[in-house]
Structure 1
């Protein structure tokens, strides 16, 4: 990347300071790039999530020097994951591998905040409560910067060699550059999420029954993130006129009666969050002077709980390709992301169809396991160790 002296010029402008954007900013800044990150939300805000990280993501955080910080902040280690198919349960031990001895599921305010802190420590500039309102183009049509609007004050322009959209599935940048949707999946879940105190810690718990799924994931402050999901049409009908907690208990009961009884006796610490579902998409994620990462370019139904792990994976692929400065770096990034995502994307969509028997769901999980194993093998070979912040 070329460094210019103009204070309003950056090597990279990243729109979105959640896990995908903050991780990309940190990695680029650690390599010496001049980076500006903007996010419309205030610093330290939370966002809807199942929180669960898969092994590849935990290994990344460890390499980046952030895993211990998350553990010290009270994120519990997860040593077991159990799959419940109707009355049958299958516990699986998370054995030490790749330098880690367990998984984690940090609150997003903590995970995103640590990534932002690491990006700042590496030299990135971060501006919260700042929105993208337009793009700056040169005479050829290439994106050369953006118009930004702070919560207080006037709009202003900055220029950048690359503008990266990490601003979620309804990405403003994707809309401005008219990024094409390459694949859109037909199925989607409606979900309700809440945090409970008083649930026994048994690691990641995943529950499945006819046309219903649920999960209980241990996270910070002794709480569990609990979600329940059904087909979006069923969800929209079930939520009408129903108290959100009652809705959660009802939908959790469809997935597992024992879970619903445990929730009824536990204490709900935060008001439930409702998500009516969204179709998965794989978007064109690069063009002249721009790129998309995280949900902005690739979103799938939350039923497989793989979104954060994919976001961190793709942040590292994008940053390494950009830093390599090859002529087709952005095209290589998208091709790599698409190849790694194909099986995860398709299997998740089949899970979100709810058109499966319990044995069928077990087969889908075996397919998901095979895809995750191949992904992890690739990541370990591709991601060489990187220097961590002091």
Structure 2
């Protein structure tokens, strides 16, 4: 049996980042994922400033830039009353642009950084059960992979395995609070040429966006309530995509129509947001496993990077600084809740699709204020380390 300080289940953004940070602090870490190395996944791609700041601080942003990910230097908002507002991305906190990398790139870079720090990475390895000691404390995982069954013992097991987290399920992690809004999304990739702006459009009961990403492509999405999406999809996904683009962003219709598709239309039915209890004896949750909100505000990757650092900071305090594990993990969750609740509440409002022009402006201003609080906290962590 292999023994580690920490086993992390899930090697996407949150899991790979957490594993990397813990290994850089000197811990023995294993990182497992049931998927193939370098595989893609559903994502909004767009990184907000707090996430770019962290990637830069960790030395990962250079790889994102070297892969040709376009630098985003403007954000354009198209409002329901016809007003278009352009906001320049000014140099702050050590970064002068935003980025929206494809997930097969970003996840790979984070896994490679984890491996460089000494993490033992196992892809195509699925956790089948949590191990427990005689007191009931989680003490590692049982898993199956290319080499058959494996047992990994650990002082702490971290679930970074998404909405349908095995770790959350098997620990009985309770939902502490849950939202009601759940937007339905359609998206595709189009050949968009050089672009340097995130574009967000808000119409009557619908939203849309254009996000420049790798290989000269942009991710184009439309979103609305599940009920409205179901009605439109009865005439096919192409009809739904076009109709929602007209409803959300008439100014984007012609540009998107003339762009060459490089993928089919894909969909996401929507899941209400939630916060789960994210720690217990021998276990913790990070990323979507512990906290999830609707993707309409494109903050999911940034959430995952933030929470990886919040958790790693407290795990190191527990293992190296004689802080009681329960106190350290409770502090992690309390900080995450404090930084997340404002973002979550605003996202709930946007994903309800019942706002007017003034309402969506107000929601987006509140969202920006909540992100400033994130940056201030992350700056404090950087100084502390």
Question: What TM bracket, shorter-length normalisation?
Answer: over 0.9
Residue deviations 1:236-260 (CA, integer Å, cap 9, x gap): 2322351x33432222121012212
Distance 2:238 2:142 in 1: 42
Shift of 1:358: 1.3
Corresponding residue for 1:30? 24
Corresponding residue for 2:334? 335
Residue deviations 1:326-377 (CA, integer Å, cap 9, x gap): 2111111001100100100111011111111111000001111111112211
Q: Is the 8 A contact 1:63 1:385 kept in 2?
A: no
Corresponding residue for 1:352? 351
Shift of 1:264: 1.4
Q: Is the 8 A contact 1:20 1:311 kept in 2?
A: yes
Return closer, same or farther for 1:368/1:276 CA change in 2, 3 Å cut-off.
Answer: same
Shift of 1:97: 0.8
Q: Is the 8 A contact 1:181 1:284 kept in 2?
A: yes
Q: Is the 8 A contact 1:188 1:280 kept in 2?
A: yes
Q: Is the 8 A contact 1:53 1:103 kept in 2?
A: yes
Corresponding residue for 1:3? none
Distance 1:238 1:182 in 2: 34
Q: Is the 8 A contact 1:236 1:276 kept in 2?
A: no
Shift of 1:262: 1.5
Question: 1:95 and 2:90 equivalent?
Answer: yes
Runs of 4+ in structure 1 displaced over 3 angstroms?
none
Shift of 1:155: 2.3
Question: 1:145 and 2:144 equivalent?
Answer: no
Match of 1:284 among 273, 277, 282: 277
Distance 1:377 1:200 in 2: 32
Shift of 1:302: 0.5
Distance 1:241 1:142 in 2: 52
Provide TM-score, normalisation by structure 2: 0.96
Corresponding residue for 1:298? 291
Q: Is the 8 A contact 1:294 1:314 kept in 2?
A: yes
Question: 1:267 and 2:266 equivalent?
Answer: no
Write the mapping of 1:310-329 to structure 2, written as runs, cut at 5 A.
310-325=303-318, 326-327=323-324, 328-329=327-328
Write the mapping of 1:196-235 to structure 2, written as runs, cut at 5 A.
196-198=190-192, 201-235=195-229
Distance 1:133 1:260 in 2: 47
Distance 2:175 2:89 in 1: 36
Q: Where do 5+ consecutive residues of structure 2 fail to align? A: none
The SS at the match of 2:148 is: coil
Provide TM-score, normalisation by structure 1: 0.94
Match of 2:238 among 205, 222, 245: 245
Number of residues of Structure 1 aligned to a counterpart in Structure 2:
378
Match of 2:48 among 38, 50, 54: 54
Q: Is the 8 A contact 1:192 1:227 kept in 2?
A: yes
CA RMSD of aligned residues (A): 1.3
Q: Is the 8 A contact 1:145 1:162 kept in 2?
A: yes
